[in-house]
Amino acid sequence: MMYTKPKLLLSLILILFLSACQNNPVGRESIEKEKQVANETVESEDKGKEEENKSEAIEKKSQADSEVVEVDQNEQQQSDGEEIDLNKVAKENNDNPKLFEDIEQKFYIQGVTLGDPKSLVIEKLGNPDEEKEDSSELDPSDTVLSYNNLNIYITNNKVTHMNLQTNEGFFKKEFYNLYPDRQYISEDSSMFYLYEEPTGHLIYAKYDNENFMVYFDYADGNFKLNLDEQWIIKTSDQNRSVMNNQYFIIPIQTSGLVLPLNIRVILLWMNLRQMEMESQFITMN
């Protein structure tokens, strides 16, 4: 029992001290201040996080908007490209005439022929890459419509002549070899012609410096004169002439000299073979 009173006394002192702290205005004010500082700190941290989250959200939104714009631009470019490709395909295929045709004894290139009005040319080929004055010194046209490697000359609102820059192989494949019955060639084989006598339509092709040029025009007096003088000849006539010059009759007996039998048989076979080849050639032409 002797230790009970001190313990009880200590307990009373502790209770009184705590009670005094609670009732002490200074102590309470200190606690309130610490509590307020703590609350402000929490609020400040919340605001900081809120601003950080807001800034991050704005940045993400801006990035997303930028990606959307980029996608839209890519889609637009792709769409434009598809339209260009479709237009190109349409122009080169179904909606565009054949490159070269002979219709009713008139020569056409991409649906255009001599005598067509300027409006029809633009309707068939679209607006030209360039429209310029004719710089020709001899009988210049009013204007020239240029489409890539095709030039169309217009006088009095009508097509007077045309020219096309290409290569010899393409010309022979796409033009010349299509109409063997209309083929002509110069004596020195430097110029190639396609000629429609009823309409006077003439195509002639030659090397102009290093460029192979194809010209669409009307046959003039020079062409007809060269035709009469046989400086220009039909290819079938030229082939027949070559055939006649290449093969000749070999006599089996000359100057009373009788050749051995085996040689005579060979020569006879050669002569018969030549006659057979000439007969086949004439039949084909």
pLDDT tens for 102-135 read: 999 999 999 999 999 999 999 999 999 999 999 8
Sign of CA dihedral 273, 279, 280, 282: positive
Q: What is the pLDDT of residue 194?
A: 97
The Cα-based distances of 220 to 200, 201, 217, 237 in angstroms read 8, 10, 9, 22
Q: Are strands 143-147 and 150-155 parallel, antiparallel or unpaired?
A: antiparallel
- Report the chain's mean pLDDT, rounded to a whole number: 74
Q: Are strands 183-186 and 232-234 parallel, antiparallel or unpaired?
A: antiparallel
Give, as one character, the DSSP assignment of residue 126.
Answer: -
Q: What is the pLDDT of residue 270?
A: 72
Q: pLDDT under 70 in the chain at which residues? A: 1-55, 57-58, 60-97, 237-265, 267-269, 271-285
Q: What is the pLDDT of residue 135?
A: 86
Which is nearest to 93 in space by CA: 77, 117, 110, 68?
Answer: 110
Question: What is the rounded distance in angstroms from the CA atom of residue 252 to the CA atom of residue 268?
Answer: 7
Q: What percent of the chain is predicted at pLDDT more than 70? A: 49
Q: What is the pLDDT of residue 247?
A: 40
